[in-house]
Amino acid sequence: MGYSEDVLGDKFFCPGGPGIMSDGRFFWRGDTADYVEHYGIGLPEEFIAHGTARRWIAPALSREDIIEIDGRLGELRRAGTL
């Protein structure tokens, strides 16, 4: 597990911050909310619209969903885009 430290202004640290979270469509780091809260960093409009439409309730992901997401993240890491 691990934790992350605020790289912008040393205002917070987040247990599990480097961990990846997903709703099956988008993925984000566990410390994303801390950056949004402390610095007002904006989120993509598509993400906001998706979350609003789902009433901010993430679906339960099946084992197959999680394996697929992990595979996609691995591809992005290997390609150097993550």
Residue 24 confidence (pLDDT)? 84
pLDDT by position in tens, the chain (length 82)? 688 999 999 999 999 898 888 888 998 999 999 999 999 999 999 999 999 999 999 889 899 988 998 898 899 889 988 7
pTM: 0.74
Residue 22 confidence (pLDDT)? 87
Full domain range(s) for residue 63: 3-79
Give backbone dihedrals phi and psi of 75, rounded to 5 degrees, phi first.
Answer: -60, -45
Total number of domains in the chain: 1
Cα 64 to Cα 20, 27, 44, 61: the distances in Å are 17, 16, 27, 8
